[in-house]
Amino acid sequence: MSDKTVISVDTAGGDKGPAVVLSGLAQSAKKNPDIAFILHGDEAELTKLLRRRKVLRDVCEIRHSDKVVAMDDKPSVVLRRSAGTTMMNALDCVAKGEADVAVSCGNTGALMALSMLKLRKAPGVDRPAIAVLWPSTSAHGYNIVLDVGADVRADDRTMAEFAVMGAEYARLSFDIARPRVGILNVGSEESKGRVEIRRASELVAKITPAAGDLEYLGFVEGADIVGDKVDVIVTDGFTGNIALKTAEGTATFISDSLRAAFTKSIMSRFAAAIAYTSLRRLQKRIDPRRVNGGVFLGLDGAVVKSHGSADATGVSAAVKLAFRMGKTNFAKRVAERVALLPEKRQTHEAGEGT
Amino acid sequence: MSDKTVISVDTAGGDKGPAVVLSGLAQSAKKNPDIAFILHGDEAELTKLLRRRKVLRDVCEIRHSDKVVAMDDKPSVVLRRSAGTTMMNALDCVAKGEADVAVSCGNTGALMALSMLKLRKAPGVDRPAIAVLWPSTSAHGYNIVLDVGADVRADDRTMAEFAVMGAEYARLSFDIARPRVGILNVGSEESKGRVEIRRASELVAKITPAAGDLEYLGFVEGADIVGDKVDVIVTDGFTGNIALKTAEGTATFISDSLRAAFTKSIMSRFAAAIAYTSLRRLQKRIDPRRVNGGVFLGLDGAVVKSHGSADATGVSAAVKLAFRMGKTNFAKRVAERVALLPEKRQTHEAGEGT
């Protein structure tokens, strides 16, 4: 397996079970000969599933575990009972260097807590963050938003780290050299919002040039998350989590209303049948399952969180991202960028310089 | 005019001009004989417009002003140059008791700043808030969210006031006796989120029963804003503003994508033509112009903010709300409810009691 990028997969923990996860891995393996998997899950079940998947047989190694972290387990409970779970074992392979990156469909809070425990923060990083791709009107079709829930608070130095880490993720995802970055606020004028956020904006403008290759554009508003003003939206985990869930709720609400509108009368059912392809295309675009996988930035190792209800295509998308992260040594590059920021005790002086 | 509910209307300041505003007033006057208007705007223009509107002629009084607060004027600038503007004059009529309630399509920040200046906070209210109706899956079709921008910070006592004021607005809007209230957080478990928000939740649970007739259900998440779990969602102005703009942005993004999907091919154009009625119905439901008017709660006088881009139907909806507020002495009732909360210096003891 040594020439391949090895992905350590937690096959349990998702809503749809290992069969769907393996179907996603098969999609990826078909397209990409440079990929290999270590599968964590029930050996008997995985062996049976692999029998049906020729393309996976020679690129998979099974590590047995029947202990699973449940979707509704609290992180505190998980931490106490994590030993030997498929999630912990998947991370362990990355920690030991057996795999380049870990992928899990499991509980986000638990995955972050165990990743912190097992992989630790990367040197120089104060607070890791969860970043998501968000559908937008930009040329590359998505924006990046962070943090969406790793930590509920973020001071000005943390915001600067988020900006640098988010920009690195934008370079990986969108192939752009100089990502545009904004901080989420209640208005785009410099005078808007809380004192802390104005101070954070000043510091980000001041110290991120040291970490290079990003264009800081100041404040952006909620509507800019789906717009083309910036590529990376930086916010604290509290605000980011609420914005994400509000947007998901709004998208689901509209999808459901659309479905209701199209089943209301015989004419509208007829129209829906004709417009089926167009409607499917739209639904794909706004479907949270396709985009709400997240990556954990700032850890000493790469972890991709696929959405709990991801189907095979969703899992395959997560694997593709994981492959690119493994191949390019992404986690290390993020840490190197953050290390270019002035040291923490100097940050304050830099921030107060003018 | 004395038996009628008098509404003081800032006819300028909206995106679509006085003609659209008057068209909205005419819709309301046709349906409601108990309504009268004081119109603030350019006398010559308004006189000319009234000539075409028989239904308005006998129920309108014109107060001339050609000074207008622009949509992009900053509140600080507005405060200095507000004297004699249509917005200020509209509020002045309420302050002097000539009108029961004011309606404006103008700049929200300016309207709040001038309302605070002219009407003052109601006795006992610490921080007024802007509340909006938000489309939802609930039986009454909407939820109430506050604060969405009056103030970017909110301590635990302020959250309790928001809960009580929001519940009173829910009683007015939805005709429900005992509105369900929740505080917006990153999860619904009691252990989630920042320390301040957990303290606020404890205080709201403890002191709002004194102000009666609301059911506090603890924390809700972003997705619950469009759901049926609570009728009133309480949050600070920063988070509320970002949630609102994110949801608006998401709705616009999906609408635009839907339009693009339906014009992509001849077949999809054909489908769109057949489904026209269904699509219009949906668009109406998710159109921010219809719902994003707000009311200012906690002032010593009633003010309705209609959306800047409201059409005649939107203006008429704002007038209908204003009429109900005037008729029921809404501003006074809100203040009476807030006055039932323990006094501020006792609040802390009450909050720390257990």
HSE value, Cβ hemisphere, 13 Å, CA-based, for B53:
24
Tokens coding A319: 């694997």
pLDDT band at A253 (very low <50, low <70, confident <90, very high): confident
Residue B268 to residue B265: CA distance in whole angstroms: 5
Asked if B149 contacts A186 with a C-beta cutoff of 8 angstroms, the reply is yes
Asked if A136 contacts A143 with a C-beta cutoff of 8 angstroms, the reply is yes
Say which residue, B73 or A124, is predicted with more confidence.
Answer: A124
Angle formed at CA B108 by CA B105 and CA B114, multiple of 5 degrees: 100
Any residues with CB less than 8 A from the CB of B108 and at least 6 apart, and which? B130, B149, B294, B305
Tell me, what DSSP letter sits at residue A213? S
Q: Could you read off the pLDDT of A96-139 as tens digits, one per residue?
A: 999 999 999 888 888 988 999 999 999 889 899 999 988 899 99
Test mutation, A235, A245, A248, A285, chain B, max B CBs within 10 A: A245
Tell me, what DSSP letter sits at residue A343? P
Residue B300 to residue B332: CA distance in whole angstroms: 7
How many Cβ atoms from other residues are within 10 Å of residue B353's Cβ? Answer: 9
Distance of CA B180 to the CA centre of its chain: 19
Test mutation, A107, A239, A254, chain B, max B CBs within 10 A: A254
Residue B133 to residue A67: CA distance in whole angstroms: 46
A217 exposed, middle or buried (CB, 10 Å; 0-12, 13-18, 19+)?
Answer: middle
Tell me, what DSSP letter sits at residue B146? E
Is the sign of the CA dihedral B96, B97, B98, B100 positive or negative? positive
Cβ–Cβ gap A253/B226 under 8 Å = yes
Q: Which residues of A41-50 are buried (b: 16+ CB within 10 A; e: fewer)?
A: bbeebbeebb
Say which residue, B16 or B226, is predicted with more confidence.
Answer: B226
Share above pLDDT 90 across residues of chain B, in percent, rounded to a whole number? 57
Stretch 227-266 of chain B: residues touching chain A, C-beta under 8 Å: 227, 235, 237-239, 241-254, 256-258, 261-262, 264-265
**C-alpha distances out from residue B71 to A280, A337, B87, B107, B308, Å:** 39, 42, 12, 5, 8
Which pLDDT score, from 0 to 100, does residue A150 have? 66
Which pLDDT score, from 0 to 100, does residue B289 have? 52
Asked whether residue B206 carries a pLDDT value surpassing 80, the answer given is: yes
Write the residue in B222, B253, B275 that is nearest to A242 by C-beta.
B222
Find chain A residues with C-beta within 8 A of B199's C-beta.
none
Structural domains of chain B ordered from first start: 1-125+298-330 (3.40.718.10), 131-291 (3.40.718.10)
Max Cα-Cα span within chain B: 69
- C-alpha closest to that of B145 among B126, B121, B125, B162: B162
Share above pLDDT 90 across residues of chain A, in percent, rounded to a whole number? 56
Any residues with CB less than 8 A from the CB of B18 and at least 6 apart, and which? B11, B12, B41, B42, B45, B46, B49
Asked whether residue A352 carries a pLDDT value surpassing 50, the answer given is: no
For residue A6, the cross-strand partners are A36
For the segment A272-287, the average pLDDT, to the nearest whole number, is: 71
Q: Could you read off the pLDDT of B24-40 as tens digits, one per residue?
A: 999 999 999 999 999 99
Max Cα-Cα span within chain A: 69
Cβ–Cβ gap B252/A193 under 8 Å = no
Distance of CA B318 to the CA centre of its chain: 9
Asked whether residue A279 carries a pLDDT value surpassing 80, the answer given is: no
For the segment B49-77, the average pLDDT, to the nearest whole number, is: 88
Which pLDDT score, from 0 to 100, does residue A149 have? 79
Cβ–Cβ gap A264/B254 under 8 Å = no
DSSP B275-308: THHHHHHHHHHH-HHHH--EEEESBSSEEEE--T
pLDDT band at A222 (very low <50, low <70, confident <90, very high): very high
To the nearest whole angstrom, how far is the Cα of A110 from the nearest Cα of chain B? Answer: 14
Which pLDDT score, from 0 to 100, does residue B178 have? 95
For the segment A195-216, the average pLDDT, to the nearest whole number, is: 91
Angle formed at CA B86 by CA A187 and CA B98, multiple of 5 degrees: 120
Lowest model confidence (mean pLDDT) among A26-30, A55-59, A310-314: A310-314
Find chain B residues with C-beta within 8 A of A191's C-beta.
74
